[in-house]
């Protein structure tokens, strides 16, 4: 697909063999996440930092899907694999909804180019964020409209402005709305991977499946994330995710866990961002050394 773009930042050495590939969250694209491009200069000289522009970037997420993102990421990984010497490493890093892409890439069935690690930075629940910011009656009305459209065969059509545009600045198809909002009681939306009320069995189907793939993982959860309801015990939630992954045999990065003082996109400079970068550098270095 010649409309997909990967932007490789300048690195400390010419043509480093390893790549850290970054996938941003909803409504974001190149250089939108506050801590970007900091990883480019923080990484070891054997790594370069790559941002990807998918069809879901910026407002495109409203008509795309996690499945489509994974297909496009596969093309990106295949491209870099074709240029790299044997033994080179590729690590995926997602922010926010980009975490869904990383976890699905690692955990789901199917043949795709291999990666060596995944970083989930701010893996929060879109469903719980919607429930926090919007009135229950509005969410119920939007869900029922989207479900009706899907039953009528209009799942790929855009919902009216008053339904989807207020969510995060983009119109969505009925299918993507239901994936993000994941109505109950089943909560089976494709995007619904990180909600605090999901069962251990659901986490085993995602984090547990990832743990069987031989791919290292690190979870970085901001303790001041404004998109997480106050009633959620963030630390306990992270431990449940990590447990599902490690009990299935997964190799967890030493820096996995809470990011003290960090907001959703780690907009804070100084010690908070330095902590994030230190953990990322340690993780990719351990992968290169073979200690993860």
Spatial neighbors of 127 by CB under 8 A, at least 6 apart, are: 180, 181, 182, 187, 189, 191, 192, 195
| Residues 119-169 pLDDT 10s | 999 999 999 999 998 889 989 999 999 999 999 999 999 998 776 655 567
| Terminal C-alpha separation, the chain | 33
Q: Mean pLDDT over residues 264-291, rounded?
A: 97
Angle at 35 between CA 282 and CA 62, to 5 degrees: 110
Angle at 104 between CA 212 and CA 193, to 5 degrees: 100
8 Å CB contact between 56 and 85: no
State the burial class of residue 148 (Cβ atoms within 10 Å of its Cβ: 0-12, 13-18, 19+). Answer: exposed
Angle at 228 between CA 185 and CA 170, to 5 degrees: 80
| Residues 48-81 pLDDT 10s | 999 999 999 998 999 999 999 999 999 999 999 9
Inform me whether the pLDDT recorded for 1 exceeds 80: no
| Residues 14-23 pLDDT 10s | 889 999 999 9
**3-class SS of residue 171:** coil
pTM to 2 decimals? 0.96
User: Residue 160: what pLDDT?
Assistant: 87
| Residues 21-40 pLDDT 10s | 999 998 898 998 999 999 99
Q: Mean pLDDT over residues 226-235, rounded?
A: 97
Where b means 16+ CB within 10 Å and e means fewer, 210-223 reads bbebebbbbbbbbe
Find how far residue 10's CA is from the centre of its chain.
Answer: 24
């Amino acid at each position: 697909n010649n409309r997909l773009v990967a932007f490789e930042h300048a690195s400390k050495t010419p043509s480093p063999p390893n790549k850290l590939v970054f996938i941003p969250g909803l409504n974001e694209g190149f250089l939108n996440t506050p801590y970007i491009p900091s990883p480019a200069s923080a990484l070891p000289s054997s790594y370069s930092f790559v941002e990807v522009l998918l069809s879901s970037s910026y407002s495109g997420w409203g008509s795309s899907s996690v499945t489509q993102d994974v297909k496009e990421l596969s093309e990106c990984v295949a491209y870099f694999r074709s240029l790299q010497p044997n033994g080179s490493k590729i690590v995926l890093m997602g922010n926010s909804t980009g975490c869904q892409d990383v976890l699905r890439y690692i955990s789901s069935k199917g043949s795709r180019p291999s990666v060596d690690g995944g970083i989930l930075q701010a893996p929060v629940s879109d469903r719980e964020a919607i429930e926090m910011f919007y009135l229950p009656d509005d969410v119920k009305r939007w869900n029922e409209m989207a479900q009706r459209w899907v039953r009528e065969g209009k799942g790929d059509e855009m919902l009216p402005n008053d339904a989807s545009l207020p969510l995060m600045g983009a119109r969505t198809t009925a299918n993507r709305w239901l994936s993000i909002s994941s109505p109950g009681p089943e909560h089976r939306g494709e995007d619904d991977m990180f909600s605090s009320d999901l069962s251990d069995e659901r986490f085993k189907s995602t984090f547990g499946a990832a743990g069987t793939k031989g791919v290292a993982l690190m979870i970085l959860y901001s303790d001041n994330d404004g998109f997480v309801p106050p009633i959620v015990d963030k630390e306990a939630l992270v431990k449940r995710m990590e447990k599902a992954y490690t009990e299935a045999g997964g190799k967890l990065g030493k820096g996995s866990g809470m990011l003290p003082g960090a907001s959703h996109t780690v907009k804070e400079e100084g010690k908070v961002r330095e902590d994030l970068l230190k953990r990322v550098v340690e993780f990719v270095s351990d992968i290169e050394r073979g200690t993860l």
